[in-house]
Structure 1
């Protein structure tokens, strides 16, 4: 019996050891503030969805955490002096998640899909300057442009030009939006509007990456609930961290707060094709009606700055115009002059997040002080996308005012202005929901697009910003500071200036 007991104890110990995994799974959960409508990078209109797509997809080039260009699926690029021809030398030995080899044919198929107007993809303008794509050999692609475009490589780093598996495109067609197949560090597992799950790509081409086993994105629009996920450990990273909770987060020893500058502009788009916003005096009045300093203090707890140009200061070719002053008396006088002495009633659309609701409620109070009665209508992401961007003709648009934000994910002024304020960018082509049309602004934006000379581009974009600022198609509000909260056990997740997330190097201790 003395020999039997040790043997029984040894067997029990071995059984326990066998039932215990050698290493605990490293599963990263990221809490975000809104839903993800779909996962087709060529048809995605929001930075959050692009962040999710970035875990699974890659482009020829990409951006680092400071939005500096870095090679990705292309090792290098050569261009001619006129910036009309670009030769990309592709990386060898890369495979898509479905086992399809990455090569020049895959690049050609992906880009031509976005270029094809019959596909009605929202990111087509990123490649609208391409004349043709030629495969020179399995790992060399030549892209010829119809006109000079100095920021072309920036466009090839935008998520809208991510390269998709040609086999998956053939298999899924339009359903690629819910069956993403790329070359990124994580592979697709499941999709719902409020949750996207990915798992580690064991065949990823970068040695030593990824370092976590999975990433799950969970949409939690209510700020307090999102912060609670971080407190309890349900999430290891949340973005944005509500500004009013920064001090609370800083007081928790297991958490850290990350604050960084951004290129995220906040504004209210005014439908300039509908009364009363077809009258410049009304648009001016609404700009005078809003105290931008108070907006920053109350809505963002000071973690922002008043917007003083149509694009943020950190964006290339920014040209300062000066903040619209707060002058409610002048706002009332302009409204009376325009024929609205008693103001008017209007709907103010926006997202469902706590921040969006707080912003709209502040604006509602400011507008009410000059007689404009705004009804706040928060819209779920899919509904808002359909109402704003699926409109086929300007006269069918029902939007009057929409509170929104934009970041130029190419890091260039072109993408800060052309998608939003160019007359050829009306929905469904792009995102000019103000339906703003100015020949002078169009000419300046086109001149900036057509030149590869930085001095000429700077002059063109300065003129565009001057015209747009004077025409006031938006109520110009603020530029964010980005605030995220993370567990001190987490490293390698970066909040980019355009509000995107980089997760490739994520690690959990």
Structure 2
């Protein structure tokens, strides 16, 4: 009897993989169906996927990827360099890479690149500017079979055809996605012959499905309720750090947060662990910089204690010794705890004479568009999600890029460090550059840094060594065989 697994998760859809998303449930589906040139490695970094190897010139502008032999799509057609280039070129269009109000995410990096099939097994990418972290982008460069592209262009994404470890059997929108192992996949054979992704938005119901045996994997479980799994002896509870940063964006165009001393004072004043305990019941880890500890080149602070005396001194120096009122835009979801978080933050900041005047927004997509259009008050609740230190600096902090989520911040030292990192191929040297940028953005913060959420995944059976991938996306190729008890690859 062939092994199978049911994965239950709060979000499920079959969308266009060339539209940028950081939603972990969506990426789990994409990674099951498609490949890029590279994949995330089990222990960090990148490993070969469609590409067996790659080279980059010392100036980080010209990349060459050599494809594996005999690659094929799920429909039996060959996956050669021309097919790869066709998908990368489509991904780089200004109308693609659209997510929550930010069009052309990939276009800003690849829009003016020369993407060429040198021969059937060689892809060349010639960039106009150096990008030493190009693999951060190409890991999401999913390759679609040319035979399916016409349907995608017509808006029909329900029949995906990729090269990934699983192929589509059937799709029931709003309910389930049925997949079968693709025997022509280039990688190590996944343990489960069949997979079913099921949609269940209720956390309690997902936990019940796991405990009752209706599902073998349940994602995004309630942090407290899922602790019951540890007592059964028949389940595994895995807690993973989500690299998404929960933050408040500071409006550095106008108002009190144009002053670096005020921005730093707010970061010094808050007790992050107290916020976590009160608002998300411990389901997060404190964030002390612009990227998470999972990010390349991060340098988290060991000291998490608030320093309200120093915060008060900075506010006094900035001319706010008699108090300060800050206007805050707050959505009612994404993050879903935004209202409770803002209320708790207001209590903490009152200790240094800061008052928050809160403006609620119920339409989350309109809210994101408003942020992109710089239509925010003094600060707003938001998140920062790419697992790429380079992308966050380039898209959200570099003044010269004027990115969708940039709100007027400028730090010449950090921009110089970004330029150096772009052209530094050696990863050890580049990590040191990013560490300097991390420190500089602790001294001069563009945002109010709060926390990284923790995500709980439940598995049927005892798998003490199983871990989520570093981007907190479920990699179905690493799932164990739930019927035979064999470990994951």
How far is 1:124 from its partner?
1.0
| Contact kept? 2:266, 2:448, Cα under 8 Å | yes
Contact 2:8 2:215 in 1 (8 A): yes
The answer (yes or no) to whether the contact 2:290–2:441 under 8 Å persists in 1 is yes
Q: Is 1:451 aligned to 2:424, yes or no?
A: yes
Query: Equivalent residue for 1:508?
Result: 482
Partner SS state of residue 477, structure 2: coil
Q: How does 1:212-251 map to 2 (within 5 A)?
A: 212-220=193-201, 223-251=203-231
| Structure-2 change in CA distance of 1:403 and 1:154 (3 Å) | closer
Between the aligned partners of 1:402 and 1:261, the Cα distance in structure 2 is 20
Contact residue 126 and residue 155 of structure 1 kept, 8 A: no
Partner of residue 402 from structure 1, selected from 381, 390, 413: 381
Return the offset for 1:279. Answer: 4.0
1:119 is displaced (CA, Å) by 4.5
Q: 1:210: how far off?
A: 6.0
CA distance in 2, matches of 1:224, 1:375: 31
Show the counterpart of 1:16: none
2:456 paired residue among 483, 486, 500: 483
Equivalent residues in 2 for 1:142-181 (5 A)? Answer: 142-156=124-138, 158-159=139-140, 161-173=141-153, 175=155, 179-181=159-161
Unpaired segments of 5 or more residues in structure 2?
99-103, 484-489
Change in CA separation of 1:190 and 1:143 when aligned onto 2, cut-off 3 Å: same
Do structure 1's residue 496 and structure 2's residue 469 form an aligned pair? yes
Secondary structure of the structure 2 residue equivalent to 1:50: helix
**1:351 counterpart residue number:** 333
How big is the shift at 1:195? 5.0
Q: Deviations over 1:87-130 (max 9, x none)?
A: 22212333323443211111111111223335465431684387
- Other-structure match for 1:5: none
Give me the whole-angstrom Cα distance separating, in 1, the residues matched to 2:371 and 2:161: 29
Distance 1:112 1:287, change over 3 A: same
Superposition RMSD in Å: 3.8
The runs of 5 or more residues in structure 1 that have no matched partner are 1-22
Which segment is superposed worse, 461-470 or 60-69?
461-470
Given the superposition, is the C-alpha separation of residues 235 and 154 from structure 1 closer, same or farther in structure 2, using an over 3 Å criterion?
A: same
- Greater helix share, 1 or 2? 1
Alignment pair present for 1:49 and 2:26: yes
Secondary structure at the residue paired with 2:232?
coil
Q: Relative to 1, partners in 2 of residues 1:132 and 1:178: Cα closer, same or farther, differing over 3 Å? A: same
Aligned residue pairs, count: 472
Q: Which residue of 1 aligns with 2:71?
A: 94
- The 1:47–1:356 alpha-carbon spacing in structure 2 relative to 1, beyond 3 Å, is farther
Q: 1:450 to 1:500 in 2, by over 3 A?
A: same
Partner of 1:111: 88
Q: Could you list the per-position Cα deviations for residues 374-418 of structure 1 after superposition, in whole angstroms to 9, with x for gaps in the alignment?
A: 548586xxx535532586643x4579412425241x5xx313432
Aligned partner (choices 81, 105, 118) of residue 123 of structure 1:
105
Query: Residues 343, 78 of structure 1: CA spacing in aligned structure 2 closer, same or farther, 3 A cutoff?
Result: closer
Distance of aligned partners of 1:191 and 1:385 in 2 relative to their CA distance in 1, 3 Å threshold: farther
Q: Distance in 1 between matches of 2:270 and 2:238?
A: 29
Q: 1:233 to 1:302 in 2, by over 3 A?
A: same
Aligned to 2:4: 26
Q: State the match for 1:4 in structure 2.
A: none
Over 3 Å counting, the alpha-carbon distance change for 1:244 and 1:274 in structure 2 is farther
Please state how far the C-alpha of 1:256 moved relative to its aligned partner: 1.4
Other structure's SS at 2:225 match: helix
Does the 8 A contact of 2:329 with 2:376 survive in 1?
A: no
Provide the rounded CA distance (Å) in 2 between the counterparts of 1:191 and 1:402.
35
Matched residue SS, 1:288: helix
**After the TM superposition, which of the residue ranges 368-377 and 136-145 deviates more from structure 2?**
368-377
**Residue 10 of structure 1: aligned partner:** none
Deviations 1:35-63 (A, max 9, x none): 76944344224333222211111101101
